[in-house]
Amino acid sequence: MGYRLTNCHQAFTQFRCSILTLQPSRRENAVPWIFLTVAILFEVAGITSMKLSRGLTETGPSIAVVVFYVCSAAAVILAMKKLELSTAYAIWSGVGTALAAAIGVAYFREPMTLLKIGSLALVILGVVGLSIAGRETN
């Protein structure tokens, strides 16, 4: 048991040290992407809460909608300090759409039709295209 804990501690220490020793420019480049990821997660939590609120008749989920969307907007605004508008918004809305669709199918038992699959594929293709275009201009 002690051996396992020592190995876990060593692995964690190495991971922590590797994060702390990243070059400042690489760390700075990661920050807007972290904000964008957080924004997407808050946005998906917001849309899920919207469904759970049953037309804003459930108090808890109704309050959660506002909280999650405010947090999502704040995080995407912080991400756009360094990211292009088109890239940030495409990824935020596209990935959020795909995750919301997945939650709808998995949790709310919504049907997954061929048209939905094709439409989501087009959304993802658009997100990838705009991400590549954003990298080319930087």
Q: Is residue 80 within 8 Å of 103, Cβ to Cβ?
A: no
Q: Counting every residue, how long is the chain?
A: 138
Token digits for 64? Answer: 């959660």
Examine residue 87 and state whether it is found in any structural domain, yes or no. yes
Query: Model confidence over 11-45: pLDDT tens digits?
Result: 445 544 444 455 556 667 899 999 999 999 999 99
Examine residue 102 and state whether it is found in any structural domain, yes or no. yes
Examine residue 24 and state whether it is found in any structural domain, yes or no. no
The domain in which residue 123 lies consists of: 29-137
Give pTM, 2 decimals: 0.75
Number of domains the chain is built from:
1
Give residue 1's pLDDT band: very low, low, confident or very high (50, 70, 90).
very low
Query: Model confidence over 73-115: pLDDT tens digits?
Result: 999 999 999 998 988 988 999 999 999 999 999 999 999 999 9
